[in-house]
Amino acid sequence: MKLFLKFDYTTVCNRVIEEQLKMFNFKYQQTAFGEIELLEKVTSKQLQEFNSSIENYGISLIEDSKKIMVQKIKDVIRDMVLNKENDVIVKTSVFLSEKLNHNYSYLSNLFSEVTYTSIENYVILQKIEYTKTLLVKQDLSLTEIAYKLNYSSVAHLSKQFKNTTGITPSAFQRIVAKRKESHLQ
């Protein structure tokens, strides 16, 4: 028998972190997603142990301040893409610099330096990834997705999908469906 699971990324991460922090007896307060304030001093050895323990879950501490800023940019982009329907449409550059209180060229250079890609490309990647998820999990049509993600037309989304992945949305759907089929056999 095959079971297909759906994950809530945020809940999973928060629950893991909560359990891990408790296991280490750290007094803490969660200040934002992926941001924890420790209320008591801990030694660097404890932190190292904590880090190797959470690494089993694919989570790790970010030390570098550049990396922290990049992570913040990624979080804002992710929120922006996921909640597009509730937002007033503004340009990504304006939205990011307002949210993070830095000018865009600073953020943009920093981002490229750390991630080897540009903010623009990253936004497109996130949108296309979200499109894939919606195609697979929610069975939305490409037209519905284009509307949801604020594309000017379904042709625009379709073209961006092809440019980013090298395959068309329908080929993507067909491949995923065939994979499922062969797993079920």
Binding site for another protein (CB under 8 A): 9, 58, 74, 115-117, 122, 125-126, 129, 132-133, 136, 165-167, 171-172, 174-176, 178-179, 182
In the complex with another protein, which residue's Cβ is closer, 27 or 137? Answer: 137
Q: How far is the CB of 6 from another protein (least distance, A)?
A: 11
**Cα(118)–Cα(100) distance, integer angstroms:** 17
In the complex with another protein, which residue's Cβ is closer, 7 or 39? Answer: 7
Q: How far is the CB of 175 from another protein (least distance, A)?
A: 5
Structure tokens at 91: 């340009």
DSSP-based three-state secondary structure for 37: strand
In the complex with another protein, which residue's Cβ is closer, 29 or 56? Answer: 56
Q: Which of 110, 115, 113 is nearest to 96 (CA)?
A: 110
Q: How far is the CB of 40 from another protein (least distance, A)?
A: 29
Q: How far is the CB of 39 from another protein (least distance, A)?
A: 27
In the complex with another protein, which residue's Cβ is closer, 27 or 178? Answer: 178
Per the CB < 8 A criterion, the answer to whether 21 and 36 are in contact is yes
Structure tokens at 163: 């440019």
Radius of gyration of the chain (CA): 20
In the complex with another protein, which residue's Cβ is closer, 14 or 165? Answer: 165
Per the CB < 8 A criterion, the answer to whether 29 and 39 are in contact is yes
Per the CB < 8 A criterion, the answer to whether 86 and 128 are in contact is no
Per the CB < 8 A criterion, the answer to whether 56 and 94 are in contact is no
Q: How far is the CB of 119 from another protein (least distance, A)?
A: 12
Structure tokens at 35: 């941001």
